[in-house]
Structure 1
Amino acid sequence: MKEKKRFLSISVFYAIAILFRYLAVKNNLFHFTDNQLIQILLRGIGPALGAFASAMVFNIPLKLSLKGNYQNILLPLLIFWIFPIVLIGTVTYIQEAEFPFLLLFTVLVYGLLEEIGWRGFLQEQLKDLPKLQSITIIAVLWFIWHLNFEFTGSNMIFLGVLFLGTWGIGKVYSSTYSLLAVAGFHSLNNFFRNGLHEKELILITILLAIWIGFMIWYKRNYKAAV
């Protein structure tokens, strides 16, 4: 009975996630606005809606938290949201005389909407499965959700990236349970919409080093304090 409920709840979650993704990227139904930022959010809203709908239908408690294991919300907000906005925004302003605050914030919210579904709901539903099996299921469903089925080398690389991302972001989630943290990691690639070049790779490296270092520092000091 438990397995049946899990299968049905995941099916409902995924059907809604796929439906809204299709409406956002393959259909004109959501093209009611020319606002690029709203269009970005609509492309990522499906997993969150699917998670909330499935939780309601099957009476599943969602353990969603912005701060997670951190003592207050300010720490993850500063480290995983404000810091990348300031860093990337400042570099962009120096090079292009433009500070894309709204775009960067929107990308983080987009990542948050996805992570409510992939980590907050789906990873929790699959947490009692063997780790490799859980990672594989999430990565494949995440890949299919993007609705890009061309059998090309770049798509196979993208699938590999999603496997690594599922493992890495999953580790961040299981360590922090902070949606702000996982949304930050999720958004790393989406920050750079014009591709990854030397500047972008340097910024990603800086962010990863600071974020991972902060998580290790906080975990050690928190355990020491306890």
Structure 2
Amino acid sequence: MKSKAIIKMYLLPTLLQITVIAALVGILKLRGFELGYNSLLGILFISLAGASSALWGIVYQVKCHSKRPLEILKDFFNIKQSVKSYTLVLIFLVLDFSSVILNKGLKIESLLLPLLLFFKAIVFGGIEELGWRYSFQPTLEKKIPYIASTLITFVCWGVWHLLFFYIDGSLGNIHVLGFLLGLLTNSFILSALFAYSNSLWICVMTHALINTFSQMSINDNVLLDYIAKVICIFLAVYLYHVSQKKRTIDK
């Protein structure tokens, strides 16, 4: 029942909402409206589109898991997690950004900037985890193997992102191949961390940190970056299977 409910109550309404908004944006652009971040109407569309994943993730949790909004909020900000979980986040981040680090490509103009970008990234990024990792993929994994579930999540998340980039006007500036490889890597990293920690906050924080460091990255080695991402994916698959074995033993 829940595998069908996740499609009906989460995936379809999430994609429908952002697709309808993208269509409206397209129509208004053809009629000469200025949208994107330069207009109040554009910001409204961007906000409604960006909130779609979180909104329907919450609806799914309330309807299918009988969770109260305050309980979901507590999960979202539950920073009390194991040292091992935070250590794994650090390992993945160092690996994922190893090319940038080695090429001294992190631009930090002030100590306040990363903090501000992080809090911004929680709102514009981290909230997506209410849908994709907290609700969608764990439900898929009950019926479909982990790698297949991650790939399905990646495709759906990728479509969602491309529609969002069209809505906010940044689609033309995106290097699609590089972006999709990064998104695929993030799909594995975040899903493995959730499988290990069973923590929404760990995924929210990691997602926000990835977005923060991506915004501050100005230089890297493409080949080294691709190698690092492949290593991250293999490590994520390994971590997932370790997590499953641990749960089997605990039972």
Shift, 1:106, TM fit: 1.3
CA distance in 1, matches of 2:24, 2:52: 9
Query: Which secondary structure state, in structure 1, belongs to the residue aligned with residue 64 of structure 2?
Result: coil
Task: Name the counterpart of 1:113.
Answer: 127
Residue 64 of structure 2 corresponds to residue 59 of structure 1 = yes
Shift, 1:117, TM fit: 0.9
Q: What per-residue deviation string (whole Å, max 9, x for no partner) do you get for residues 2-34 of structure 1?
A: 554343123444235625874998774984289
Alpha-carbon distance change, 18 to 112 in structure 1, aligned in 2, over 3 angstroms: same
Residue 123 of structure 2 corresponds to residue 102 of structure 1 = no
Task: Name the counterpart of 1:45.
Answer: 51
Q: 1:164 aligns with which of 172, 176, 185?
A: 185
CA distance in 2, matches of 1:50, 1:157: 28
Task: Say whether the 8 Å CA contact 1:24–1:42 is kept in structure 2.
Answer: no
Q: 2:139 aligns with which of 108, 119, 125?
A: 125
CA distance in 2, matches of 1:156, 1:7: 27
CA distance in 2, matches of 1:60, 1:15: 21
Task: Say whether the 8 Å CA contact 1:12–1:54 is kept in structure 2.
Answer: no
CA distance in 2, matches of 1:127, 1:46: 22
Higher mean C-alpha deviation, range 97-106 or range 137-146: 97-106
Task: Say whether the 8 Å CA contact 1:15–1:50 is kept in structure 2.
Answer: no
CA distance in 2, matches of 1:23, 1:190: 27
CA distance in 2, matches of 1:188, 1:170: 15
Greater helix fraction, Structure 1 or Structure 2: 2
Query: Which secondary structure state, in structure 1, belongs to the residue aligned with residue 157 of structure 2?
Result: helix
Shift, 1:47, TM fit: 0.8
Shift, 1:180, TM fit: 2.2
One-letter amino acid of the counterpart of residue 128, structure 2 = E
Task: Name the counterpart of 1:223.
Answer: none
CA distance in 2, matches of 1:159, 1:139: 9
CA distance in 1, matches of 2:189, 2:82: 23
Query: Which secondary structure state, in structure 2, belongs to the residue aligned with residue 187 of structure 1?
Result: helix
Q: 1:136 aligns with which of 126, 135, 151?
A: 151
Shift, 1:162, TM fit: 1.8
Q: Output the TM-score relative to the length of structure 2.
A: 0.55
Task: Say whether the 8 Å CA contact 2:76–2:204 is kept in structure 1.
Answer: no
CA distance in 2, matches of 1:143, 1:74: 30
Which has the higher relative contact order, 1 or 2, with Cα contacts under 8 A spaced 6 or more apart? Answer: 2
One-letter amino acid of the counterpart of residue 124, structure 2 = Y
Structure 1 unaligned segments of length 5 or more: list them: 85-90, 220-225
Task: Say whether the 8 Å CA contact 1:18–1:145 is kept in structure 2.
Answer: yes
Alpha-carbon distance change, 113 to 153 in structure 1, aligned in 2, over 3 angstroms: closer
Q: 2:219 aligns with which of 197, 205, 208?
A: 197
What is the correspondence of 1:203-218 to structure 2 with a 5 Å cutoff?
none
Residue 46 of structure 2 corresponds to residue 32 of structure 1 = no
Shift, 1:50, TM fit: 1.6
Shift, 1:45, TM fit: 2.0
